[in-house]
Chain A
Amino acid sequence: MSTAAGSGAGGGNGGASGGGGGSGTATASAGPLAGIRVIDLTMWFQGPVAGQHLADLGAEVIHLESPKGGDLARGVRSIKALAIGDWNQYFQVINRNKKSMAVDLNTPDGVEIVHRLAEKSDVFLTNLSAKALEKWKVTYDELAWINPRLVYALGSGYGPFGRITKPSFDMTVQALVGLMSRQGEPDEPPIYLGMGSGDAMGGMMAALGIMLALYARESTGRGQCLDASLYGAQTFMAAPTFQAYLATGSERYSRQVSRTDPENPLWNIYRAADRWLFLCVPNEDGPWRTLCDTLEAGRRDTGDAYDAGGAGGTRDAGALAGDARFADPAARRANATALVAELDRVIAARPAAAWTERLTRAGLAASPIVTFKDLAADPQAWENDYLLKTPCEEVDREVTIRGLPVGFSKTPGTVRSLGPQLGQDTELILFETLGYDWDRIGELKAGGTIL
C-alpha cells in the first residue's frame, strides 16, 4: 500500500560526511524525472516544497545551504506555542528525497562551485531575495550565460513587475490579495488560511512552471526564466470568488458573509448534535423535497441508534416542505435566514454522521466537518497514499507524513528519505559530479568554504 521507502532500503542514512561513504540518497532513482538535476537554493517553505514535488518524482534535487546553520527552517523549534517535538517535521517533510550541499556563497570558491554545478544542472530553483542572488552571482543572466539549457525558476513575493521591495512571506502577501478579509462571520477578525497555505500554492505553481519549461526545452533546446510568485499563486487560489468580484464588483464576494445569510441555505454548514455538518444540496425543488423527507424521517425514527434527546421538541421537518416561505428556489433564497434557523433546529437533533448516512443514502451530498484526528484514521487518505509512514532516522522510528498528492500509474512518486543532514552530500557531489579532487576538497573544507 505504502510506497514510502519502497526503494533504497534504510532511507536517508545521512552519515556520508566523513568521506566517500555511501549516501542514503545517492542511489540512482527511478521516476518520471530521473536524470533531472535541480539546484535548490531555497529556504523556509515556498521554495523547498517546489523542490519536493520534483524530488518525489525522481529528480536529483540538491538543497544548497549555508554552512552556518543552513536553511533557517532547520531552526524551527515550536509550532503554535507547542514544542515541535523530537523531529523537525517542518523542515524534514518538504526537503525529503533531497541531497544537501553546504557551500559558503560569500566566498569566490563557493560561487565557483555553484557556477560549475549550474553547468551540469537542468534547473535552478530559488525563493531568496534578488539582492542575495545578485550578491552571490547567481542571477538568471549569470547562470544562463554559463548554461543556456538551464531552467531558472524564481518563487518571488510580488512577481517580476511587482513594486513592493520588502521581504515577503506567505501571510503578508495573502493579506494583500484579499482572501483573508472575506473569511468568517462579520465583525470577526480576518482569517489566514493556514500556515503555509499560500506558500504551498506558490510551490505547486513553481513545479508546474518548471515542468512547462522542461517540456518546451525538449523542442527548443533552450532553458528560460520563470517566476511563480506568492502574489500570482494566491490570486489564482482566490479564483472562485476573486473572478466573481472582478466581474461584478460586488462586496458579496469581498466581505465577510454570515452563514445565516447564504445564497443557498441548502448549501451551507449546520451544527449537528456532536459536530458541524456540510450540507451540499442544490436549490431545486426535487432535491429540496428529498431533503425535507430525509430530515423528517431522521427526526421521527425512534429506532435510530442516535438520539440527542432534543429531537422531540423540534418542529416537524416534513412541514418545511409545505411552508410557503420556502415554496420555490426564489422564496428559499429570499427567506434564507429563516430557513437557516429552521434547518439549524432540525439538524441539531442528531449527530453529523447519522445525518450524512441518511442524506447520502437519499442521493444528497453531505459530510461531517472533521478534525485532523479523523483524517489521520481516514482510509481515503491512506489508500491513496496521501498519508504515508516512513522511517525517521532522527528519532529511530516510523513517522506519519503528508504523502504523494499526485498519482502516476506507471511512474509513481516515492518517499526514499526524509530531509538531509546539513551538507551531507557536499563532498560526494564535488568529487563525482564536479570533478574536484580530494586534495582540493580538503582545502575547501579547511578554509570553511564547505562544511
Chain B
Amino acid sequence: MTPSRPSAAALDGVVVLDLTTRFWGSMAAALLADFGARVILIEEPCRPSPPAELPAAGARWDYVHDLVHRNKKSCVVNRATERGRTVVRELAARVDVVVTDCPEADLAAVGLDYASVAAARSDVVYAVGSGLGPKGPDRDLPALDELAAARTGMMPLLPQPGQPPVYAGHGQMYTAVMLAYAVVVALFHRKRTGEGQRVDASLLGGNMYGASLDLQAYLAIGEDRLLAPVARLDAGNPMSGVLYPSADGLWIALTMPDTDRWWPLLAEVTGLDPADPRFATHDLRCGAHRLELIAALDDAFRRRPAAEWRAAFTERQMSADVIEDYRYPAEDPSARDNRYVLDLEDASLGRLRMLGFPIFMTDTPARLRATAPRRGQHTAEVVRELLGYPERAITEMEREGVLA
C-alpha cells in the first residue's frame, strides 16, 4: 500500500521512468524525485561502456547509491526476455517522463528510443543526457565527464603554470541540473499545450557552461593568454580572484572587483598605507602598479593566521574568506539548517550524513521520503499499479525470471 503523501510537492503526480546508469544522469532523476516526482528506476537499463569509476570499495555504506537513487522505486526486469522488454515498453507508455543517459542505439534496439516511446505516448517528455551532444561526428562516444572536461579547454587553465591540468569533476553536475531543468520546462509546456517533446543536455554542454566566463572571454578577445594558466602573482586584479597564504598555511580568497569601494578598508586591515600614491586609483591598482600591490598583499597576509583574517573580514563585512576543506560544510550548523547537508539515522548503520537539497522552497520543499531502494524492492508494486497486471501474472513472471 502506498500511503498518500501531503500534496505539497512541486512535481506531485508526475511519474518518471529512470533509465540512467551514470552518477550525473541518476542525479538528474534524483532531483525530480526530491521535488516529489514518482521516479521508477529500472536497474541496469543498458550496459555503460566503460563503467563509471566508483569510489573506493569497502565503504561500510553504499553512499553513492543512496545519494543518486534516494526517493526512487526500484524495478528489476529481465531484458533478455521478450516479456521483460514488453514490460519496460509498457511502463514507458504509461509515464510522463523518461530520463536516460544510455546510448540511443541501445535503447532503439529494445524499442525505448524517443520515436518508439512517443509512438505509444505522444505527449511523453523524453530527456536524453549524452557525452558530447546528440549531433556531430562524436555523438556516440561514451558519456564520461572526463572526456567532456578534456574536450572543453578548461583543464589546462586551472593550475599554476607548469603544473598538470586539473580535472575537478564538477562539470557533470551542471549537466545534471540542466537535464532536470529541461524536464520541468517541458512539463510546464505540456501542461499548457498538451505537447510533449524530446529534450537533451550533455556533458560537453555542462562543462562549457561551467567554464562560462573564461570561455566567453577567449571567444571574444582571442588572446593566447586566455588559453593557459596565469601565475598567482600575475593576476589582473590584486584584490579580486587572487589567493594569498596566511601565517598558518591556510589560504585567503578575496573578491573585491570594485577596488575603489574596498581599497581603504583592505589597506587598513592589512596594514598597508591607504594613501600610498602607487595604489591611489583603480587603474593604478589594476594597471601600472598591479604587481607591486600583489607583492605587498602577499607579504601582509603571511603575517597573521587565517582565523584572525576571518575575524577581520567579518567585523568589516568584507567579501573575503579563508579557504576551507570539506570539514567546514560537513560541520557547519547553517549547512544543516539550510538542509544542504542532512543527518540521517539508519537502523543498522547509525548516524549518516548525506548531501541535501540545493534549492529552498517555502511551499513545495524537497523532501527525503526514503533512502535508495533495494534492488527490485518495488517491481511487483509498480507493475501492479501502473500496468494493472493481476497478481497471478506477476507471480508467473517472477517464477519465469522476467521480474525480480
Contacts and interface: CB of A to CB of B under 8 A. Distances in A.
A402 B364 contact: no
A158 B341 CA distance: 13
Given A171-B255, A411-B197, A177 B329 contact: yes
Contacts of A85: 220-221
B255 A170 contact: yes
Nearest to A281: B50
Given A193-B168, A264-B53, A247 B208 contact: no
B402 interface: no
Q: Output the residue of B35, B64, B177, B326 with the most chain A CB within 10 A.
A: B326
B363 interface: yes
B236 A80 contact: yes
Interface stretch (A109-117, A210-218, A296-304): A210-218
A381 to B, nearest CB: 7
Interface stretch (A19-27, A253-261, A426-434): A253-261
A216 B376 CA distance: 31
Given A184-B163, A184-B166, A167 B317 contact: yes
B56 interface: yes
B204 A386 contact: yes
A226 B182 CA distance: 19
A400 B218 CA distance: 10
B362 to A, nearest CB: 5
Interface string B51-71: 101011001010110010000
A232 B132 CA distance: 27
B12 A219 contact: yes
Given A201-B173, A243-B63, A246-B353, A212 B160 contact: no
Interface in A350-394: 360, 363-376, 378-384, 386-387
Contacts of B151: 367, 370, 374-375, 378, 380
A227 B243 contact: no
Interface stretch (A97-105, A234-242, A305-313, A437-445): A234-242
A182 B63 contact: no
15 contacts: A49-B212, A80-B225, A81-B237, A175-B322, A178-B327, A178-B329, A180-B251, A182-B326, A185-B164, A235-B355, A235-B356, A243-B67, A246-B354, A278-B150, A383-B136
Interface residues of B, number: 152
Interface in B165-224: 165-170, 172-174, 177-182, 184-189, 191-192, 195, 197-202, 204-206, 208-221, 223
Interface in B252-274: 253-255, 257-258
B155 interface: yes
B185 A365 contact: no
A241 B169 contact: yes
Interface stretch (A6-14, A86-94, A320-328): A86-94
B328 A407 contact: no
A264 to B, nearest CB: 6
A401 interface: yes
Given A191-B166, A194-B154, A194-B158, A32 B327 contact: no
Interface residues of A, number: 150
Interface stretch (B103-111, B137-145, B379-387): B137-145
Contacts of B253: 171-172, 174-175, 180, 190, 192
A184 B355 contact: no
A209 B185 contact: no
A89 B170 contact: no
A68 B271 CA distance: 33
Nearest to A90: B213
A28 interface: no
Q: Across chains A and B, which 3 residue pairs bring their CB atoms closest together, nearest first?
A: A384-B133, A81-B236, A247-B63
A271 B164 contact: yes
A254 B323 contact: no
A269 B204 CA distance: 18
A204 B356 CA distance: 17
Contacts of B335: 231, 235
B87 interface: no
B228 interface: yes
B300 interface: no
Q: Which of B23, B67, B114 has the most chain A CB atoms inside 10 A of its CB?
A: B67
Contacts of A191: 158-159, 166, 168
B53 A244 contact: no
B156 A93 contact: no
Contacts of B227: 371-373
B1 interface: no
A410 B195 contact: yes
Given A240-B173, A374-B153, 15 more contacts: A32-B188, A81-B230, A81-B237, A167-B317, A194-B210, A224-B362, A231-B338, A235-B340, A246-B341, A374-B151, A375-B152, A383-B135, A402-B215, A407-B201, A408-B185
Contacts of B200: 406-407
B393 interface: no
A246 B363 contact: no
A233 interface: yes
Given A172-B320, A213-B10, A237 B170 contact: yes
Given A72-B258, A166-B317, A224-B362, A178 B325 contact: yes
B205 A196 contact: no
B201 A405 contact: yes
Contacts of B215: 372, 375, 402
Contact of B188 (A190, A196, A211, A236): A211
B184 A211 contact: yes
Contacts of B292: none
B355 A236 contact: yes
Given A166-B317, A204-B174, A402-B209, A194 B214 contact: yes
A335 interface: no
Contacts of B236: 78-82
B255 A409 contact: no
